[in-house]
Homo-oligomer: A and B are copies of this chain.
Amino acid sequence: MARRDVDVPTLVEAARSGSPRAVARLISLVEDASPKLREVMAALAPHAGRAHILGITGSPGVGKSTSTNALVGALRAQGKRVGVLAVDPSSPFSGGALLGDRVRMQEHALDPEVYIRSMASRGHLGGLSWSTPQAIRVLDAAGCDVVLVETVGVGQSEVEIVGLADTTIVLLAPGMGDGIQAAKAGILEIGDVFVVNKADRDGADATVRDIRHMISLGDRTQPNLWRPPVLKTVAAHGTGIDEVMEGIDKHLAWMTEHGELQRRRQRRAADEIEAIVLAQLRTRMGDLRGSHGMDELAARVVAGQTDPYRAADKVLADIT
């Protein structure tokens, strides 16, 4: 795995002609921040930007993996190539459950047109792994029509997925997802399509009503704004999945028509650029931190010979 003599153009070519091994290798290269990272990203650039990036988020227990599985099936039925990135939380406690989820996805594991990958959440960008945007780019450039990014919706990751996805699907389950809870969790703002899964359970209609009501109170009623549908599914039986697919397609069409797709992607690209810039500046500062120059500056501040702001000016001049 740790071969250094990897030939990036050949690898990209192989990934684009459908080699899962090449895709895996490229994701590993970007995930490990290997020295080849820049070369990989440069080689992928001309091929990226074609996939529809779908984010799927929701609390544990709402049936995220079952729903992802059902969506993958529906997309495959349309003949589409699909990439799935499952972003695991770093918490060791949920490892078991997620392993179970992965196993459930085995249905598609042997399909060469479906690429499934679990990403470790490294926390660099909060809940989502630092390398997730880069892994999305690999799958996109490799020719996936749709990339599904599944996150355990706890805390920040829900909000972050908005930054990564073209379309964000928020999953709820009856009883868990009443309007107030949803509003508190901040999910009302992030969902482009709301899905109440396990809709054969008691309270599904009430949850749908609650969410619809909360949405109607928001800014979303303005003209030209996307009005997110609130749909019902029983993902385990495939019920309602067609309607979700339709909702996703409508959202994509609406975004394209209103220029929102380009806006979201530009914002995403700007976020990515910014994250890289900050990471590089931190590295430069880290190098400086160990240096004699920084020690001397800090000593001068302690001695009252200069103040932190003038010292910061010097550091800025040094790292820039």
State which of B46, B273, B302, B320 has its C-beta within 8 Å of the C-beta of A308. B273
State which of B266, B285, B298, B309 has its C-beta within 8 Å of the C-beta of A37. B309
State which of B46, B274, B282, B312 has its C-beta within 8 Å of the C-beta of A276. B312
Residue interface bits A276-320, CB-to-B below 8 A is 1, else 0: 111011100100010000110111011111111111100110011
Interface status of A42 (Cβ within 8 A of chain B) = yes
Contact B267 A301 (CB under 8 A): no
Q: Determine the distance from Cα of A92 to Cα of B275 in the docked complex, in whole angstroms.
A: 32
Contact B302 A49 (CB under 8 A): yes
Q: Report the nearest B residue to A141, measured CB to CB.
A: B304
Task: Given A265-B302, A278-B285, verify A307-B42 contact (CB < 8 Å).
Answer: yes
Contact A316 B277 (CB under 8 A): yes
Interface status of A75 (Cβ within 8 A of chain B) = no
B residues within 8 A CB of A311? Answer: 269, 273, 276
Residue interface bits A20-46, CB-to-B below 8 A is 1, else 0: 000000000000000001100110111
Q: Determine the distance from Cα of A308 to Cα of B41 in the docked complex, in whole angstroms.
A: 8
Interface status of A270 (Cβ within 8 A of chain B) = yes
B residues within 8 A CB of A308? Answer: 41, 133, 269, 272-273, 276
Interface status of A48 (Cβ within 8 A of chain B) = yes
Interface status of A262 (Cβ within 8 A of chain B) = yes
A272 shortest CB reach to chain B, Å: 5
Interface status of A47 (Cβ within 8 A of chain B) = yes
Q: Report the nearest B residue to A299, measured CB to CB.
A: B266
Q: Report the nearest B residue to A261, measured CB to CB.
A: B302
Contact B312 A45 (CB under 8 A): no
Contact B298 A269 (CB under 8 A): yes
Contact B273 A298 (CB under 8 A): yes
Q: Determine the distance from Cα of A273 to Cα of B316 in the docked complex, in whole angstroms.
A: 10
Contact B309 A41 (CB under 8 A): yes
B residues within 8 A CB of A281? Answer: 278, 281, 316
B residues within 8 A CB of A285? Answer: 274, 277-278
Q: Report the nearest B residue to A47, measured CB to CB.
A: B304
Contact B41 A307 (CB under 8 A): yes
**Could you write out 25 A-B pairs with CB less than 8 Å apart?**
A41-B307, A41-B308, A41-B309, A42-B307, A48-B304, A49-B302, A49-B304, A262-B299, A265-B302, A266-B299, A269-B297, A269-B298, A269-B299, A270-B294, A270-B295, A273-B294, A273-B312, A274-B315, A276-B312, A277-B312, A277-B319, A278-B282, A280-B316, A316-B320, A320-B320
Q: What 8 A-B pairs come out closest when comparing CB atoms?
A: A320-B320, A276-B312, A269-B301, A269-B298, A45-B307, A270-B298, A41-B307, A266-B298
Beyond known contacts A38-B309, A273-B301, A276-B311: 14 more, CB 8 A cutoff: A45-B307, A46-B304, A49-B303, A133-B308, A262-B299, A269-B302, A269-B308, A270-B289, A273-B311, A273-B312, A274-B289, A276-B312, A280-B316, A316-B320
